Amino acid sequence: MENYLNLGIIIKTRGLKGVIKVKSTTYFASKRYKKGNKLFLVNEKENLKKEVTVNSFSNEGEFDYVSFNEITTLEEAEKYKGWFIQVDKNDLPPLKKGTYYFDDLVGLECFDEENNQFGKIIKVEDFTSQISFRILLNNQKTILIPFVEFYIKKIDLEKKQVIVHIIPGLL
């Protein structure tokens, strides 16, 4: 699913008309869930995918509520609990230089400035104060490195690697 971007995961249903409750992972929920947008419901474990069209969207606190033209009953919506909502990246506007989708950063190999591989990004953490990379080190320990210019020297999506400035004691 490399050409698809996860927007969130379906938590449960709401009401009788097929509305789903979503824990979104996108900053742009109102744009991504705009009426008429084509999205995909994906069950990665069973390799299932269903194309859907957004009918309505609302937000309440940390959750989004979305309905789709193709899902109109509680019973139908129940089938998709635990599934991911994804969008084809080709349907999104191009990113500005130096900006990335979090999904594209997960899995990148981490190298120091002397080209020594020391770990892999396993998660991008979006803390209130800053974005950080959770890195699984080769020794199986995990560390957090802030996604700031001081530490992150270069990101190369084609080579699937990131160059990190290592300070004493970091590893």
| Residue 102, pLDDT score | 87
pLDDT per position as a tens digit, 76-107 = 999 999 999 999 988 888 888 888 888 889 99
| Residue 2, pLDDT score | 66
CATH 2.40.30.60 in the chain, residues?
4-90
- With a cut of 50, say whether residue 14 has pLDDT above it: yes
Average pLDDT over residues 5-16: 93
Specify the range with the lowest mean pLDDT, choosing from 15-19, 118-122, 123-127: 123-127
Q: Answer for the pair 101, 114: CB distance below 8 angstroms, yes or no.
A: no
| Residue 103, pLDDT score | 85
Average pLDDT, the chain: 93
* Other Cβ atoms within 10 Å of 72 Cβ, number: 15
4-90 maps to which CATH number? 2.40.30.60
CA distances from 34 to 3, 29, 49, 53 (A): 20, 8, 20, 9
Give the integer Cα–Cα distance in Å for 28 and 7: 9
Q: Which CATH entry fits the domain spanning 102-163: 3.10.20.30, 2.30.30.240, 1.20.200.10, 1.20.140.10?
A: 2.30.30.240
| Residue 171, pLDDT score | 83
pLDDT per position as a tens digit, 42-76 = 998 999 999 999 999 999 988 999 999 999 999 99
CATH 2.30.30.240 in the chain, residues?
102-163
| Residue 1, pLDDT score | 45
pLDDT per position as a tens digit, 149-161 = 999 999 999 999 9
How close are the terminal C-alpha atoms of the chain, in Å?
32
pLDDT grade for 133, boundaries at 50, 70 and 90: very high
